[in-house]
Structure 1
Amino acid sequence: MPTSPSEEELLTWFDKLSNWGRWGADDRVGTLNHLTAAKRVASSELVRDGESVSCSWDIRTGRQPGAIVESQRYMIATGLGLEEEGRRGLMGPGRAGGAQEYIGMVFHGLDITHLDSLAHVFWNGKMYNGVPASMVSDRHGALKHDILAVSHGVVTRGVLLDMARLRGVDVLAADDHIRPEDLEAAEDAAGVRLEPGDVLLMRTGEGGARIAQKKAYNANKPRSGFQAACLPWLHDRGIAMVGSDVTNDPSPTEYRELHMPIHMIGLVAMGLWLIDNCQLEDLARACEQRGRWDFQFVLSPIRFQGVTGSPVNPLAIF
């Protein structure tokens, strides 16, 4: 087995891989600075047949695999009782009617497909670019690095590296952590090379297991993910955003204090945007059918002020 970087070495990466000040003292978008207008335009050339594939899970009420708190939907107005005489509904009395609801969720976790903003994780009391962690409070939420930093969305080239397919398995073993040499082997197998401004999506096959096992699926079990050794590779390649069908970090990792190095070093030092819990089974089939593994990638978060991330529905457009 390849040697993993030690935790002592990882701690030095907060400086070695740091993008603090690289794009200015007030930078809010981190690695998305690699995504240029020319890159957005070029991604449109990847659209050939117009099919759009979602990379997100449905959000359901009730207990779901890996959910910290059950997602909630409270109906305020419904279609029930419309025949009752004198009933006054959402749109007043008479024949007009309408529905209205309240929804609530904890999207950070192991269940919902979501984008982490750069306000999600702290190290030594700091967020990305040296912003004090105290800028996230119970009253105001995130006053810096909230999800509004990407309110105009992300449009670029996306690349799927299907590690389960490369290994010839349905799902990676929990101790099969993905390393830079694995990413490059997957590139070679797919005939692609990741470039600055790209979004990297990495499939472990856990999505297929989740579909097959339904509510019996245990998202808290040990699972594969990006080994911390991938961080310098992602930094050198200029990757704008990373997503996977797990929470990107393996579970468990090999480290005690830096127990989520992709999140901790990626978000805080690099300003690397992370998409957790993608549904990549449909995308893997679409890529295999076409014999191509790159596509136009589109993502847009909810424009909710002060929030440290957002549920998202990433789209791959062929």
Structure 2
Amino acid sequence: MTESTAVGNVTAEDVIGYFDSLSNWGRWGEDDRLGTLNLIAPETRARAARLVTEGKVVSLSRDIDPAAPDPLGTGLSLVQRHMGIGEVEHHVGKGASRFDAVTEFVGIAAHGSNTHLDGLAHYSWDGRTYNGFEVAETITSLGGSKKLSVRDASDGIVSRGVLLDIARLHGVRWLERGHPIMPEELLEAEKAQNVEVGPGDVLIVHTGNVARVLAEGPDQVNQAGLHASCLPFLRERDVAALGSDAIQDVQPSGYPAFDLFRPIHTVGLVALGLWLIDNMELTELSGECAQRRRWEFFFAMLPWRMVGVTSSATNPIAMF
């Protein structure tokens, strides 16, 4: 495949052009830090809350287990745990109190197997992050991200969630590794499920990737995901956040140039200011939606209020 004959006739030059044609820079002000989260207005949350009729909750997060810190084989999900046992005895002496306590230290490599939110400083293009902030002036190894950290999402991401089940669309448990999801498939899923993605929605795409990796083992090269040609769909529908049981991008991307190794991540985060939720657990949600024949739900995710970091482990939920 060459740069001029990419999948869906979207060339590398077309994708690079998305940085301008799909850009949200300045849309919500020159100093905006929220990006597409601006699309979630109070009335959007209130409308989403009215979708709750049963009180049924489904977690969309995977376990974080120090005994199995990287089950998806990313090479990044180091989890360290140190237990401080007998803390009261340690501080006041043995026998000084009838109660004792345990404390601990937990360390997590933010971007990896765990379900996590990508903040807008995670990726840059030509030395700039979302809204044109210069990397050299806003991100340092010691001080972290002075702009665009996950702290900016401290009010949470609360909106209508919409699941587009691409695996179910094809009648399979999981998509083939390396399957590029095209915009036509997103439209077909909308029609089959009688749902339409709209402004302020959290779009969740089910590929079956996590289930497949856990069943068959990881593949560092091939993974089902969105093709770059889906980027105009995400911009036109004004999606507030995008999540999947993968890393969003199809791997390989279909473009030989390393610049476009992950175009959904790069164009999405940098140009659109689109928040991404990687490596979700969607098997249960897929079943619950199919059982109800209902693909919209109340979505809530409360990332940690961490200053200066580009990712947060998180436990998003869907409520019916």
TM-score relative to the length of structure 1: 0.93
Could you say which residue in structure 2 is the equivalent of 1:132?
134
Cα deviation digits, residues 12-34 of structure 1 (max 9, x gap):
11110110001100111111111
- Please tell me whether the aligned partners of residues 89 and 98 of structure 1 are also in contact (alpha carbons under 8 angstroms): no
Could you say which residue in structure 1 is the equivalent of 2:171?
168
Summarize the Cα distance change of 1:99–1:251 in structure 2 as closer, same or farther, 3 Å threshold.
same
Tell me by how many angstroms 1:221 deviates: 4.2
5 Å-filtered alignment, 1:260-275, equals 260-275=262-277
Write the distance in 2 (CA, Å) between the matches of 1:2 and 1:102.
Answer: 46
- Is 1:179 the counterpart of 2:185? The answer is no
- Is 1:47 the counterpart of 2:47? The answer is no
Write the distance in 2 (CA, Å) between the matches of 1:58 and 1:230.
Answer: 29
Cα deviation digits, residues 169-216 of structure 1 (max 9, x gap):
111112321111100100111110011000000011112223434xxx
- Please tell me whether the aligned partners of residues 91 and 97 of structure 1 are also in contact (alpha carbons under 8 angstroms): no
Structure 2: tracts of 5 or more residues without a match:
1-5
- Stretch deviating more after TM superposition (25-34 or 70-79): 70-79
- Is 1:254 the counterpart of 2:262? The answer is no
Could you say which residue in structure 1 is the equivalent of 2:245?
245
- Stretch deviating more after TM superposition (166-175 or 224-233): 166-175
Tell me by how many angstroms 1:3 deviates: 2.3
Write the distance in 1 (CA, Å) between the matches of 2:46 and 2:129.
Answer: 31
Cα deviation digits, residues 78-118 of structure 1 (max 9, x gap):
59xxxxxxx81467632111111000011212x01000000
- Stretch deviating more after TM superposition (127-136 or 92-101): 92-101
Cα deviation digits, residues 10-59 of structure 1 (max 9, x gap):
11111101100011001111111111111100001110110110101000
- Please tell me whether the aligned partners of residues 117 and 145 of structure 1 are also in contact (alpha carbons under 8 angstroms): yes
Structure 1: tracts of 5 or more residues without a match:
80-86
Could you say which residue in structure 2 is the equivalent of 1:84?
none
Question: What residue identity is the alignment partner of 1:192?
Answer: V
Write the distance in 2 (CA, Å) between the matches of 1:219 and 1:91.
Answer: 51
Give the one of 205, 208, 230 matched to 2:208.
205
Write the distance in 1 (CA, Å) between the matches of 2:132 and 2:38.
Answer: 17
Could you say which residue in structure 2 is the equivalent of 1:27?
32
Could you say which residue in structure 1 is the equivalent of 2:225?
225
Write the distance in 2 (CA, Å) between the matches of 1:286 and 1:150.
Answer: 28
Tell me by how many angstroms 1:6 deviates: 0.7
Q: Secondary structure at the match of 1:316?
A: strand
Cα deviation digits, residues 150-180 of structure 1 (max 9, x gap):
0010110001111111001111112321111
How many percent identity over aligned positions?
Answer: 43
Cα deviation digits, residues 240-293 of structure 1 (max 9, x gap):
000000000011111222110001100001101100000001111111121111
Could you say which residue in structure 2 is the equivalent of 1:15?
20
- Please tell me whether the aligned partners of residues 8 and 229 of structure 2 are also in contact (alpha carbons under 8 angstroms): no
- Stretch deviating more after TM superposition (195-204 or 63-72): 63-72
5 Å-filtered alignment, 1:295-310, equals 295-310=297-312
Could you say which residue in structure 2 is the equivalent of 1:83?
none
- Please tell me whether the aligned partners of residues 177 and 224 of structure 1 are also in contact (alpha carbons under 8 angstroms): yes
Q: Secondary structure at the match of 1:3?
A: helix
- Please tell me whether the aligned partners of residues 161 and 202 of structure 1 are also in contact (alpha carbons under 8 angstroms): yes
Question: What residue identity is the alignment partner of 2:236?
Answer: D
Q: What is the root-mean-square deviation in Å for CA atoms of aligned residues?
A: 1.7
Question: What residue identity is the alignment partner of 2:267?
Answer: I
TM-score relative to the length of structure 2: 0.92
- Please tell me whether the aligned partners of residues 91 and 98 of structure 1 are also in contact (alpha carbons under 8 angstroms): no
Give the one of 284, 287, 291 matched to 2:289.
287
Could you say which residue in structure 2 is the equivalent of 1:37?
42
- Is 1:121 the counterpart of 2:126? The answer is no
Question: What residue identity is the alignment partner of 1:88?
Answer: E
- Please tell me whether the aligned partners of residues 53 and 282 of structure 1 are also in contact (alpha carbons under 8 angstroms): yes
Could you say which residue in structure 2 is the equivalent of 1:82?
none
- Please tell me whether the aligned partners of residues 60 and 316 of structure 2 are also in contact (alpha carbons under 8 angstroms): yes
Could you say which residue in structure 2 is the equivalent of 1:73?
81
Summarize the Cα distance change of 1:184–1:7 in structure 2 as closer, same or farther, 3 Å threshold.
same
- Please tell me whether the aligned partners of residues 31 and 241 of structure 1 are also in contact (alpha carbons under 8 angstroms): yes
Could you say which residue in structure 1 is the equivalent of 2:148?
145
- Is 1:64 the counterpart of 2:70? The answer is yes
- Please tell me whether the aligned partners of residues 107 and 113 of structure 1 are also in contact (alpha carbons under 8 angstroms): no
